[in-house]
Amino acid sequence: MGPPYQKMTAVLGEVPTPHVDVPIDAVFIGLFVVGAASHMTLFRLNLRRGHKFIPSAATFGFCMTRITANALRIAWAYHPSNVPLSIAAQIFVAAGVVILFILNLLYAQRILRALHPTVGWSRFLSTTMKLTYLLIILTLVAVITATVQSFYTLNRHTGRIDLDLLRYGTTYFAFVATLPLFIMAYVGPRSRHPHEKMQPFGRGGIAAKMGIVTAAAMLLSLGAWFRAATIYLAPHSVASPAWYQTRPCFYVFNFTVEIIVVYIFLLTRVDRRFHVPDGSSKLRQYTVNA
C-alpha cells in the first residue's frame, strides 16, 4: 500500500475506540462548547461597551480547536484504519494548546510591565517577546509538517529528521509554557527602582493577577513537559503501549488541564483583570485604568 502509512508504534492516547473514547470525548466537547460560548459572549458584550479584549476571542478559538480535536477522535474511533483522519486528529491535539501558551505569556508580560516598567517596556524585552511569538508560529509549522510527513515516508533518515523536529517542537513549547513562571519569580520578590512607579491596569489586585498566571502556567507546563518527556522515550508497539501512552494520561495531561485553564480564565474574569488601554504598546505605558 502507498502512503499515508499506518503507524506501527503507539501514540499518546492510543487508537480511540467507540465504547471507551466516544463518551469521554463527548463530555469534553460539551465542556469546551460551554467554554467557547462563554468567552465569545464576554467578548461580544465587552465589545459593545467599547471594552475590546482580544484574548477572549482567542480563547474561544482555542475551545473550537479542542471541539474539533475531540470530534476527530470520535470519527477516528469509528474508522480506525483511516490514516488521514488519524493525522488530522493528532495535529489538532498537538497544535491547539499553543494559543493558551501565548495568552498566559501575554498576561505575564502585562504584569511585568506594570510592576517593572523600565524592564517590561524596554525595547530589548519587547523585541525578544515578539521574536518568541514568531518562533512559536514557525515551530508550530515545523511540528505540523513533521507530523504529516512522518506518515508519508518509510525512509529512516527522513523519519529521524521528523522525530528531531517533533522533539524540538514539544521541548520549545514546554519552555514557552513555563516562561510565565520565570516572569512571576522575577517580579514577585524584586523591588522596583526608587524612581519607578507601578503602572496599574485592569481591575483587581496584582496578587490575584499573579495567582491566575501562576496557576495556569503550572497546569500548562505540567501537560507540556509530560508530552515533551514522552517523545524522548523509546517507542512501543500499538499492541503494548507504555503507561504514559494510555488514555488516562492522554486525557489528564491534555484536555483536562486545558479545560481547567479555560475555566480559570472565565471564572476569574481575565477580560476585566488583564485589560489594558488601546495603544498602550505605542505609548509604552498603561495611561488609564481599565
Q: Is 283 part of any domain?
A: no
Residues 92 and 97: their CA atoms lie apart, in Å, by 9
Q: Is 2 part of any domain?
A: no
pLDDT at residue 289, rounded to an integer: 44
- Grid coordinates representing 47 are 465589545
Residue type, 165: L
Q: Is 9 part of any domain?
A: no
pLDDT at residue 200, rounded to an integer: 81
Q: Is 279 part of any domain?
A: no
With cut-offs at 50, 70 and 90, classify the pLDDT of residue 194: low
Q: Give the chain's domain count.
A: 1
Our CA angle for 224, 230, 231, nearest 5°, is 95
Determine if the pTM surpasses 0.95: no
- Residue 278 pLDDT greater than 80, yes or no: no
Q: Is 214 part of any domain?
A: yes
Q: What is the pLDDT of residues 195-237, one digit of tens each?
A: 677 778 888 899 999 999 999 999 999 999 999 999 999 889 8
- CB 215, CB 260: distance < 8 Å: no
With cut-offs at 50, 70 and 90, classify the pLDDT of residue 104: very high
Residue type, 128: T
pLDDT at residue 102, rounded to an integer: 97
- Give the long-range contacts of residues 273-278, CB within 8 A, separation 24 or more: 273/202, 273/203, 273/204, 273/208, 273/209, 273/212, 274/53, 274/55, 274/107, 274/110, 274/201, 274/202, 274/209, 275/51, 275/53, 275/201, 275/202, 275/203, 276/110, 276/201, 276/202, 277/201, 278/52
Q: Is 73 part of any domain?
A: yes
Q: Check which CATH number belongs to the domain holding 175 and give it.
A: 1.20.1070
Domain that residue 148 falls in:
18-274
Residues 90 and 218: their CA atoms lie apart, in Å, by 24
Q: Is 183 part of any domain?
A: yes
pLDDT at residue 191, rounded to an integer: 59
Q: Is 96 part of any domain?
A: yes
Q: What is the pLDDT of residues 40-88, one digit of tens each?
A: 999 999 999 988 899 999 999 999 999 999 999 999 999 998 999 999 9
